[in-house]
Amino acid sequence: MIKSIHIEGYRGFSDFGMSGLQRVTLLVGNNNSGKTSVLESLFLLASQGDPYSLWRVMWRRSERMPERATANYPELDVSHLFHGHEIHLGSKFILSAENQSPGRSVQFLIGEIPKEQSPQTPVAPGGIPTPSRVGLHIVAKPGTSAFVPLTRSGGLTSEALDSPRRLVRKRNNEEGVPAQFITAESFSGNELLALWDTVALTSSEERVLEALRLLEPDIERIAATAGNPPEFYGQPTNSRGGFRVKFKNIERPVPIGSMGDGTWRLLAMATVISQCKGGVLLIDEIDTGLHYSVMTRMWKLIFGAAKELDVQVFATTHSFDCVKSLAQLCHSDSEAADSVSVQRIERHEPLAVPYTSKEIEVAALNQIEVR
């Protein structure tokens, strides 16, 4: 389990550390303090240098090269990953889990292309962007190294990922840490459908039903449909399609997408945590769509699943109700009290401020601001 992390040169962090991490760690702080960047750092660490994880992080933030935002071959701007939003030869960021056993670290360095590699043949305008002799050197410990070529404008293309990613996977073997990142927008229906086969007809399916019943106690069953429909008249695919639920005393199944943000959020969390056994679950804005009255039960469900599956959970929030409900769980469950931490992140401060479960309880009881 990760007990502390160190971030150097990543996004808004010049040099930042956080210690005292527990089974469940809640990150709090003002807007733009770096909470989501910490989750991204943990995700990149868990991936152990898989370049596709970089693509996912940047794609989520829409960090595309402006001149190619609508091109057939999108190009993502890697400069935003580096502190100061600028890159040059030698620019780097380093992420490490210092107290994990074995210790893990990954370094991303802007450097020249290795001599044994050569840039691709330039292509005509409108095609794939022309590669340069500069790229990302990725060095992870334990045992991974790869080189990802960048374009002449310093961008990353999906075509550049394939070969380095195969190399990373080959060298990683089974050393990678299972990790899932639930963004504030949650998973799409197609993403959850892709995971559902590992959940259906197992104990994890009952956990999903338990989560949904926090909001709708009369739900009896859940089923996946064949898949989301294709785009229709230019409209995007329904991001919340693919699942139906059966209610007591209602004959026809109800599409789960019609039931509100909180229901979909709980479906995503309960489904995805089962994919993280022995690994890490990262949840941005965990309280999205949830009323304060269900949050203590939500935390109980998350903590129980994390303990059962040996998952370490990191989440962010702006809600005092979310912190208060976590304190209530700690007060009622001594095992949870020994396994929970709140970390306050202040912009431009080198260290997070940790709060123990007892300090969280005192803060909640006395309405002391910790966010």
Domain boundaries, the chain: 49-176, 180-219+258-365
Q: Distance between CA 65 and CA 155 in Å, rounded?
A: 7
pTM for the model: 0.89
Q: Report the share of the chain in percent with pLDDT over 70.
A: 82
If one compares 99 and 237, the residue with the highest pLDDT of the two is 99
In this predicted structure, what is the pLDDT of residue 227?
A: 56
What digits encode the pLDDT tens for the residues 175-232? 568 899 999 888 888 889 989 999 998 989 999 999 999 999 999 999 998 655 554 4
pLDDT in tens, 113-162: 876 655 544 444 455 566 678 899 999 887 678 888 898 888 888 888 77
What pLDDT is attached to residue 236?
A: 44
pLDDT score recorded for residue 133: 83
Closest to 13 measured CA to CA, from 106, 112, 89, 82: 82
Taking the alpha carbons at both ends of the chain, their separation in whole angstroms is 25
Q: Model confidence over 274-302: pLDDT tens digits?
A: 999 999 999 999 999 898 899 999 999 99
Instruction: Check pLDDT > 50 for residue 234.
Output: no
pLDDT at 237: 47
